[in-house]
Chains A and B, each alone.
Chain A
């Protein structure tokens, strides 16, 4: 607004009212007051139409009860739907992995809580697995969970996977590697080729002594 500051602050001679949903006074409020004192149905209807139109156009439209009902139904079902989609998605991947990787890998799916897929060789120490799913921060990661990890940069297991997968990024002492979002967005960690490549490339660690 270009009005001089001293004039703007002169409340006796300057007022603002707004079309915006917030702030006072608003055009919308004036129209609503007019509706209340209006005796003629036709004029009242016209005022309400204009007010509702402005509110819709300027972003203050409250959803009608019917739309709210729909939105709440969807909102209520959100967690259930999310679970259903996750479950179908992960079970599809797991099934493909079981077929492609054969009995040398154990593939398990977790669909409750934080959904995930874990892959492990029977010869691995119990805490070690390849993990694909959500971590407590709520993000989705693909990486190696390694119970004995120290977080050391020179970890030989990390070096082996780093060479094989090309996805080195130290997350913390437990999560050694993951597919991180790159400049183009999320890498497709669910890609079958990626998982197969990983399965082949991690061969060197199979013989690693259990820790």
Chain B
């Protein structure tokens, strides 16, 4: 492409554009802000639940003890139900029994013998009919009044 003459306002614009592109190239070279291997990975809610379980667990591979669990409980204002975190267990895919002809599995259960947090993790998939009510009833049977059901919603649902 023939460059426009210097008096042409296009020249100024394209010079600025070229400079900005150069700055972006340099930023990419030094920091690669757009690079993320996860953008190329395929995964589903079960994988994400597995990751959440690991993050929430005191003995998770992150090695940070209960730091991340504390953040979770504080964020959801549930900390007061867990005076000591050493007794907390975090399980994934917890079987909640057969109901209406189908087995139920709660994605994540964070619990002590006295209190349970059931997390239903919804990233993309839509909720099955009556799914949350079934988990509610299961938590109620298991923990009495000492439970909280946490439902995570994807962007489409929450808008």
Contacts and interface: CB of A to CB of B under 8 A. Distances in A.
Given A58-B154, A66-B33, A13 B148 contact: yes
A57 B39 CA distance: 8
Contact of B36 (A3, A13, A30, A52): A52
B85 interface: no
A66 B28 CA distance: 8
Interface of B: 9-10, 13, 16-17, 19-21, 23-24, 26-28, 33-34, 36-39, 51, 55, 61-64, 67-68, 70-72, 74-78, 123, 127, 129-133, 136, 145, 147-155, 157-159
Given A40-B64, A58-B155, A14 B149 contact: yes
B40 to A, nearest CB: 10
A81 B152 CA distance: 45
Contact of A34 (B55, B131, B136): B55
A102 interface: no
B149 to A, nearest CB: 5
Given A1-B151, A39-B64, A74 B17 contact: yes
Interface residues of A, number: 53
15 contacts: A3-B132, A4-B136, A13-B149, A14-B148, A14-B151, A20-B155, A25-B75, A37-B68, A37-B71, A39-B64, A50-B51, A66-B23, A66-B26, A76-B16, A84-B10
B153 A18 contact: yes
A80 B51 CA distance: 49
A69 B67 CA distance: 37
